[in-house]
Structure 1
Amino acid sequence: MDPKHTGEVLKHLEKQDELLMDAYRSMSHELHKLQVEEEMLMRKFYEIMSAHGLTKKSEDGHDSCSGERNALASITDSKLD
């Protein structure tokens, strides 16, 4: 690589890094909003299912899907770090 172009290449790479970080932040924010919306919809869906008596209880007395959502959220949150 020609030494006189290294400054331009560095400036270009820094700009690309900034743009990629902005895109990452934007996508992370959008993902979080969608996860919150999903959680609200799932809670509302559960309320409707409960009102119609369509929820199932597991043998230990807990709702059958209560732990599944928390596990998914934990995995998803840890990947954002």
Structure 2
Amino acid sequence: MICRHLDKQNHALMETYRAMSHELHKLQVEEETIMRKLYELMSAEGLLPKHKEKREPERAGESSQENEEREP
């Protein structure tokens, strides 16, 4: 009798664990997607810190005056 009750509790706990684990995974994927979109938006708006080494190749096609206007 007690053993059957414990088995039912164990089963219920395992189902709850699986559901919570699945929900956590969905939230982690959603967070990653949102962070990626935020990075894209911030990059498009020019809100990310600029690194000269990384930014120079992107600016290669621009005039030097445009480059100077962007630098602080």
TM-score, structure 2 as length reference: 0.68
Aligned match of 1:39 = 32
Aligned match of 1:55 = 48
Identical pairs, percent = 60
Q: Give runs of aligned pairs for residues 1-81 of structure 1, distance below 5 A.
A: 8-57=1-50
1:34-65, Cα deviation, whole Å (9 max, x unpaired):
0000000000000000001111257x96xxxx
Unaligned regions of 5+ residues in structure 2, if any? 55-72
Aligned match of 2:59 = none
User: Larger RCO: Structure 1 or Structure 2 (Cα < 8 Å, ≥ 6 residues apart)?
Assistant: 1
Length, aligned pairs only: 53
TM-score, structure 1 as length reference: 0.60
Residues in 2 aligned to 1:11 and 1:55: alpha-carbon distance in whole angstroms: 59
Supply the AA of the counterpart residue of 1:27.
Answer: M
Flag the structure with larger Rg.
2
Structure 1 segments, 4+ long, off by >6 Å, are none
